[in-house]
């Protein structure tokens, strides 16, 4: 009996434990293939997702340090706790022509003092005053280019408005007059934030290349190339600048650190298996933020990362599915999961302090179709926007939703704050609430 069992085991090993279909025998190459298969299995394993409330009775108390963040050139992407506690009663609108692919564009407002700067469906740039009156409107695109409906990325340094688009163009405008200062063509379309620092600006294109340009004339000063994905991601990529270093992500999950002056690559950390995501999956990530010497971000692969800003090594990782920009306040990190959980994390340990269901105010049968877009943390409340045009208000202390405001029936942007006014972008207008 023992001999029969032994022969059976040998037979099974020979026939089933090899990836070589012809010989059914082990080879050096088949061992490598098996290791790759194991990685794939691990990445796409149906792990138990964090989807329930946790420590819901815990009350959160924050320090009183509030900022009047205008989001114009926030190098850290960390909004912090914003000085806002609006009544949400008075509403005004800045109107423009509808943006057809608003769902994918993830646009951001640029503020010039109390003025608002944005763009429309034909690539026109509009500047409004605080009373919604149009100051100037300019368009530097040809007729054929207008028909392509360019999506613009904007940034300003109080003097220059830097513009980049998905048509591979970038240019500078005098922010007071709208006058074109210079205009250039990039090799590939731009799909990232624009950051301005030390008379330079930084952006990333569809080839996963970080480029540094001079504000004075648009001349390229240096570039850093990372791995290019087989599938071109349209997801807006993120850039932060901290302590003379540029940190950015690419479409396949690599985080890179580059010297701001020379473009020298300081470190690079892959967070995913690039061979998988180049061919099989479009990775979506939140914006990067920096807090307490760590880079923080999450993705739609059920991962929330904390990475050491000096070395690029992993500090901790949590199982949270989210693509909204997190916010760090004191030693706490705020984020909202895809399932609508308001999650608060200890920045040092990665432990979840509390998780409450911010979607509890929505009828249960409708929750499955609702996705968080973005949020800000105000003086007393958290303000969250959703893909069905709602603004949800939840108490910071308890995490419980208190009210919900209907802005639109379609997707709206994350909230922005300037001078105790809340701004939300929809496909054909900016909504101002105070």
- The string of pLDDT tens digits covering residues 238-288 is 999 999 999 999 988 899 999 999 999 999 999 987 665 555 467 889 999
| CATH hierarchy code of domain 55-104+324-434 | 2.40.128.630
Give the model's pLDDT for residue 358: 96
pLDDT tens per residue, range 238-249: 999 999 999 999
- Give the bridge partners for 395, in sequence order: 381
* CATH topology (fold) of 107-234+236-283: Methylamine Dehydrogenase; Chain H (2.130.10)
pLDDT tens per residue, range 77-108: 999 999 898 888 888 999 999 998 888 788 99
Give the model's pLDDT for residue 41: 30
What is the distance between the alpha carbons of residues 375 and 402, in angstroms, rounded to a whole number?
A: 15
Give the model's pLDDT for residue 124: 97
As given in the structure block, the two tokens for residue 113 are 């003092």
Alpha helices in 17-114 (DSSP H): 28-43, 102-105
Predicted structure pTM score: 0.86
Give whole-number Cα distances, 388 to 35, 52, 323, 362, 426, in Å.
43, 23, 16, 11, 11
Give the model's pLDDT for residue 272: 86
Residues of the chain with pLDDT under 50: 3-5, 7-47, 280
Give the model's pLDDT for residue 69: 60
- Please answer whether residues 365 and 359 qualify as being in contact, where contact means their C-beta atoms are separated by less than 8 angstroms: no
Annotated domain spans of the chain: 55-104+324-434, 107-234+236-283
As given in the structure block, the two tokens for residue 31 are 């061992």
- Please answer whether residues 186 and 165 qualify as being in contact, where contact means their C-beta atoms are separated by less than 8 angstroms: no
Q: Are strands 303-308 and 294-299 parallel, antiparallel or unpaired?
A: antiparallel
Give the model's pLDDT for residue 331: 94
Give the model's pLDDT for residue 165: 96
Give the model's pLDDT for residue 15: 41
Residue with the two structure tokens 């071109």: 232
- Please answer whether residues 375 and 414 qualify as being in contact, where contact means their C-beta atoms are separated by less than 8 angstroms: yes
Give the model's pLDDT for residue 350: 96
């Amino acid at each position: 009996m023992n001999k029969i069992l032994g022969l059976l085991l040998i037979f099974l090993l020979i026939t089933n434990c090899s990836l070589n279909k012809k010989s059914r025998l082990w080879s050096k190459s088949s061992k490598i293939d098996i290791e790759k298969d194991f990685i794939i299995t691990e990445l796409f394993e149906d792990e138990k997702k964090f989807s329930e409330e946790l420590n819901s009775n815990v009350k959160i108390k924050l320090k009183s340090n509030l900022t009047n963040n205008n989001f114009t050139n926030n190098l850290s992407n960390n909004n912090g706790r914003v000085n806002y506690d609006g009544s949400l009663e008075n509403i005004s609108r800045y109107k423009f022509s509808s943006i057809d692919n608003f769902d994918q564009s993830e646009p951001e407002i640029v503020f010039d003092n109390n003025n608002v700067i944005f763009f429309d469906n034909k690539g026109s740039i509009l500047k409004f005053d605080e009373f919604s009156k149009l100051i100037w409107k300019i368009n530097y695109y040809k007729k054929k280019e207008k028909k392509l409906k360019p999506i613009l990325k904007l940034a300003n340094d109080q003097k220059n408005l830097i513009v980049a688009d998905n048509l591979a163009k970038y240019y500078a405008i005098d922010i007071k007059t709208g006058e074109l200062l210079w205009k250039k063509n990039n090799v590939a379309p731009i799909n990232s934030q624009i950051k301005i620092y030390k008379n330079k600006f930084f952006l990333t294109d569809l080839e996963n290349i970080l480029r540094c340009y001079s504000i004075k004339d648009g001349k390229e000063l240096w570039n850093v190339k990372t791995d290019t994905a087989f599938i071109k991601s349209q997801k807006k990529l993120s850039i932060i600048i901290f302590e003379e270093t540029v940190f950015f992500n690419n479409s396949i999950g690599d985080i890179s650190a580059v010297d701001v002056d020379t473009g020298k690559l300081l470190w690079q950390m892959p967070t995913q298996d690039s061979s998988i995501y180049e061919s099989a999956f479009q990775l979506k990530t939140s914006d990067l933020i920096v807090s307490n010497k760590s880079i923080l971000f999450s993705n739609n692969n059920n991962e929330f990362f904390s990475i050491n800003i000096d070395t690029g090594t992993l500090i901790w990782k949590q199982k949270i599915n989210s693509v909204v920009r997190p916010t760090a306040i004191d030693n706490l990190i705020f984020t909202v999961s895809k399932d609508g959980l308001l999650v608060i994390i200890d920045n040092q340990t990665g432990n979840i302090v509390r998780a409450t269901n911010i979607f509890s105010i929505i009828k249960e049968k409708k929750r499955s179709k609702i996705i968080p877009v973005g949020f800000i943390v105000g003086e007393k409340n958290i303000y969250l926007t959703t893909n069905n045009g709602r603004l949800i208000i939840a108490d910071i202390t308890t995490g419980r939703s208190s009210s919900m405001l209907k802005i639109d029936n379609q997707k709206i942007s994350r909230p922005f704050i300037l001078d105790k006014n809340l701004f939300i972008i929809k496909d054909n207008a900016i909504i101002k609430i105070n």
